[in-house]
Structure formats: C-alpha cells, structure tokens
Structure 1
Amino acid sequence: MKKSDIYEIAIKVLGLYLLFTCIDLLTAALATSALLIHAKQNPEMFESFGQTPFLILSIANLVFVVLFALFLTLKTKTIVKFVCKPSDYEERSMLSVDRELIYEIALVLMGLILVVWTLPDFAIKLKEHITLVQSDVPTNEYDTNFVITAAIKIALGITAVIYSKSLAVGLGKVNGDSSRITGVE
C-alpha cells in the first residue's frame, strides 16, 4: 500500500463521518426554523431580537458541511493530488487489504456509533412525546423535530451497518478504482 492510498482512504472516511454528522446540523436548522415560527406567532416573545439571521446561518452551515463532505467523499483522488508529495506515491508499507474492507469497517463503526449515541435520547423523547399525545397535551415542536431526526439517525445507522458491504463497494468504485491495496507487488 502506498502512502497516497492511506491518505485517500482517510479522506474518504472523514467525508463519510461528516455526512453522518450533518444530521445534527439538520436538527439545528429545524430547531431554528421552529423558533422563527414561534417568534412570528408570538412577536413579544423575542421582542426585537430577530431569528431570521440564525435560520440563514444554520441552513448555510448545513449546506456547506454537506457539500464539503460530498467533495471529500466523491473527489478524493483530486484532494490526494494536492495533499501528497511525489514520494508519497512511491513509498510503500507492508499492509495488504482491500479498500472496500476498510470502507466497510468504517461504515459499520460509524453506523453503530450513530445508533448507540442516539438511541437513549430517542427512547426518552419518544416516550415523553407519546405520553403528551395520549394526554391531549400540546407537544413541543422542538421535541417533535428531535424525535424525527433521531429516528432518521437510527435508520441511517442501521442502514450503514446492514448495507455496509454494498456501500463500501460503491465507494470503492466512485473514483474508478476498486483494486486491492497491497504493499507487495
């Protein structure tokens, strides 16, 4: 395996991680939009403190991180060309492994982390939400958004674990290289 191959794998894994963390940014954007709606319905609630700039910033942040994560994931070879020195394309290590295997392991780990970190809060908020709905008490819009985004996180985490092999093969083919990485040729 060349040093440039290791850079390529690390950059792609970072891009995948950022894609998974975009869900939290989506939660922030939804929470900010809920605040904006409440501010419009109840102007005295925030007095003259406008919520629109916060909504614009949260959406811009979400879009920027999604685009950056997609760039890292889909244009990895281009980034590696800028990051690596010419010697990095020649320097070899004695590691012998498939790219897809590394991507598969990373997807399984990220999926499990996403589920484990999200599940406890999701269970608590879902129980509270169900209790409020059954009691005919109005629910908090932020809590509803939290339950929805947490369910999406759990679904994505489970999908990443279940379909890690298929996704890893797809990631390996994104750059047109699904070869075995070997330190010895």
Structure 2
Amino acid sequence: MAESIERTGGNMGRQLWDFKSSAFCGVGLAFVCLLPTGCSRYDHVRDADEQAYRLVGEKSCDPRWDQPDFSVDLDPRSRYFDPYDHISPPMPEDDPASHKYMHIVDDKKQWKYWDQFGFRPGLENPGWECDLPEYVEVNEEGKILLDLKTAVRLAYIHKPDFQEQLETVYLSALDVSTERFRF
C-alpha cells in the first residue's frame, strides 16, 4: 500500500509540474505572438490625423471659414508633392564628397540598414509640369494663359505658404487634442 501511495504521489507531482510548465510555455508563447502587434508609426500617424481632422471639423461650422475637405496632404499635382511613403521615406542622394563617409568611417563599415528604404532621385515631384495642361489653359506653344482665377488656382496648388497655413491649423488641432487629454 505504501508503494501505491508513493507511486500516486510521484505521479501527482509530475502532473503538477507538467501543468505548470505547459501553462508557462503557453503564456510565453502568447507573449511572443502578441509582442509584434504593438503600435507602429503608421498607427500613431493615423490616430493623430483622425484627432486633428475631427477637431478641425468640429470648429469649422461657420460658413465663412468652412473647410469641408480639409487635409494637410499635398495635392498630387503640386511640385512639392512627395510620392514616397512619408513614414519611412527613401533617402535623398548625398553629395559625392560626404557620401564616401557613408560606407566606411575610421575603418568602421556603414550601418547595415542605411539604404533599407532606398534612395530617391530628387526632391521635386517629377511629373508636375506634365500635369499642368490638365488644370490650366495652355496655348499651342505650351505657355500658360494666366488670368486671376488661374493664378489663384496655381498658388493653392504650388505655393508653400498656403500649405504652411494648413499645417499650422493641423498642428494647433493636435495641441488642442493634447490639452484635452491632459484633463
């Protein structure tokens, strides 16, 4: 009889140990699986955009300054439009003199992720001039026929001052959102 109790006690201890180790492995596996699902840069940008656009929409109810399609995104026709990803953009080309230091400095090799997002050929939107005839009148010589309405349209699309004002409103909305969060 003593043998059967010892045998049962031994099995019970082993079963308890197996249960604990299985539970520990299960929790560890769940942690490892959920670890990469944290917030990314894209999530933070999306959340900030939602908050700022909601606040601007809340406060632009007067028809004198109503902006139904308010956005800080540049018009794709603009010469300043950036067709690349804004969160992880490719790097602009470096000048040749300093670029040599990007490969080896003091016998240390470059960071292995240096060109992870690629390189961009230039900073200006490459197709902005080709798109001009779509929204302004152009004569047979290819010159723009400019009147007041066309000049204002071109300024809205290409002038950085207007874009800067939109971005100021956006950043002010983010400040308001932050202050609301503090309370």
Band of TM-score, shorter chain: under 0.3
Higher helix share: 1
Q: Which has the higher contact order (CA 8 A, sep 6+)?
A: 1
Report the TM-score when normalising by structure 2: 0.25
Structure 1 or 2, whichever has the larger Rg, is 2
